[in-house]
Homo-oligomer: A and B are copies of this chain.
Amino acid sequence: MYRYAGVVSDSDRTGAAPGRPRSEAARQAVLEAVDDMLVEIGYAAMTMKGIAQRAGVGRQTVYRWWATKAEILLEASSGDADHELASPPRADPADDLAGFLTALATFLTVSPAGLGYRALLGEAQHDPAVRDLVRDADLLGRAARTVLDRVRPHAPAMPEARLASAQLTGPVVALVLETGQPLPATMLAEHARILISAWRNDRPADGNGVS
């Protein structure tokens, strides 16, 4: 069962495959077909059969390189994700976070790669293998960490990366998954402002608060 891993770099391919692919054209055609079909007909209506037809490729060729729809989708999405989730640095930390959140919200609601990621995350709830795939790829986490590293100097109370990343992206991701709708820019900005306000001030929780 030799096939490309998708997430793996090009150089990794040289190793195990008994026969190298004769043409990258077939692989590319499949990846492009998946990208297009995801937007046009949606994940549910997308079948291995349909993908092969749309790509002008034999069914067996698809099965040769990918075991499931999810694997194709991950390979088709992961490349674009890094690029689309990169937000330019801003001087003000809250603006920096807000910029990233805007890119994230656009990614999740507009971009084909983002639609692919959502479909993948959906499939991960049904199939443990896909869940591992998504967790290991960690598309959102890696992108978030880039921004968080920029902001950290201005936010002494920022928690460990895993929690900080979840606090930053979680609300946006969850809201989009639950509603499917884009989020208002003001809400994103306020979320960023509140997070920064919490991460700046390192006063530990005191026990009171009861009236």
Contacts and interface: CB of A to CB of B under 8 A. Distances in A.
- Report copies per complex: 2
Chain A, interface size: which category? 35 or more
Contacts of A134: 178
Interface string A91-131: 11110000000000000000000000011011111111001
Contacts of A93: 209
Given A125-B118, A198-B195, A174 B163 contact: no
Interface stretch (A12-20, A51-59, A75-83, A200-208): A200-208
Nearest to A135: B179
Contact of A126 (B42, B187, B208): B42
Contacts of A42: 126
Interface of A: 42-44, 91-94, 118-119, 121-128, 131, 134-135, 138, 140-141, 153-154, 157, 159, 162-163, 166-167, 169-175, 177-180, 187, 190-191, 193-201, 203-205, 207-211
